[in-house]
Chain A
């Protein structure tokens, strides 16, 4: 779908503010001056176009895409859902990229020094492009919780990072998905940056037993909403051409 119209104004109340002192790193990295509101031009409405052919056949399979001597350790899961816009329409051809810790809570990253071991068969990233209905799916192992240096005893609940590129650069979004029933969720300083409790809940993926593969993998469902375009009823067209 190609947007012909401007994006609906972003509802900043759904998002964390820039400055959230309980998440300490935000204190020195948060702009303090108001954002300049910019009506959409072609620069915001357009964005990079990605083709299915650019990705490899295993890019969306975190169980196999870094397997060396065997498969990664951990609870096998499928994560699936639909990328939609605010009008409820599926967003086809969106680039979905994910990354996560391994089952022990350790990232394959040169700056991660947590004592849990690296899994030799787990890279921890994957990517896919949504189909014509906006659907995506990938297979992985469930990430472990891990400590981080915020408060002395701060732990991140198990989570998967998601990066989304829709049809327009103004839709660009990075977020995190959590797992239903995780007792660390209510204490998390990162999820807690989102002021609205209902908005926080939308980042918690329910167990979706119907999408599980019996005798193989559990499944979780995570639907994602990107900004939608406004209807043009009586407005002038956006562009001069």
Chain B
């Protein structure tokens, strides 16, 4: 008998279901329970960097906005460093006021999700590759989604850096890279990046197997 590998199997995923809000953002479910709930405000007033709002919708295969999606974002700070011990980019400072993570639910009426955050800086790439253009990592879960979907949002106004980005460059055909670009919009209350996610259809967003 040959030797045996004793790795464990990852626990299987299951849909987050229609009531994901109860567990992760109870206020949207209709009640408050935690003294310190997690939410969509990622950057505080003192956080360094350009303060922005990210907003968008998540569209299903018929083009209808999904009003029960849970999204989480994870991003580097304005210098391009993650607030995590594995990020050893010692030439970039940490921002104590910035974890870089938040969660938001698409609105039950409008279908919009929003995050209040800052624009991240570029992050070092894998060895031998160019730095990664500023981007926000997005993970989403909901009813009808059997395993969480991972994607990235890039900034349309960073064309030069996007052109060199090792992840965007990999995606074929190039037209699909457009699905990861957020549109910059200047509004009365500040800078908004609009990023719609299409689960299915002609312009299906690029999702990653990370």
Contact = CB atoms under 8 A, between A and B. Distances in A.
Find the residue from B12, B18, B86, B132 having the highest chain A CB count within 10 A. Answer: B12
B145 A40 contact: no
Find the residue from A86, A99, A127, A226 having the highest chain B CB count within 10 A. Answer: A99
A203 B90 CA distance: 42
B119 to A, nearest CB: 15
Contacts, number: 281
A2 B85 contact: yes
Interface stretch (A15-23, A69-77, A206-214): A15-23
A236 B24 contact: no
B127 A56 contact: no
Which bucket holds chain B's interface residue count?
Answer: 35 or more
Contacts of B110: none
Interface stretch (A42-50, A129-137, A179-187): A42-50
Contact of B61 (A27, A55, A109, A123): A27
B9 A4 contact: no
A88 B9 CA distance: 10
Contacts of A8: 7
B158 interface: no
Given A4-B86, A108-B30, A111-B108, A236 B127 contact: yes
A58 to B, nearest CB: 9
Contacts of A154: none
Interface string A73-110: 00000000000111110000000011100000001111
B126 A39 contact: yes
B86 A241 contact: no
B72 interface: yes
A227 interface: yes
B160 to A, nearest CB: 20
B200 A99 contact: no
B74 A28 contact: no
B23 A161 contact: yes
A146 to B, nearest CB: 11
Contact of B146 (A26, A163, A203, A236): A26
A151 interface: no
21 contacts: A10-B210, A32-B204, A33-B204, A35-B207, A36-B209, A37-B209, A40-B210, A42-B123, A46-B82, A48-B100, A49-B99, A56-B35, A97-B24, A110-B29, A161-B16, A172-B72, A174-B141, A225-B10, A226-B10, A239-B88, A240-B125
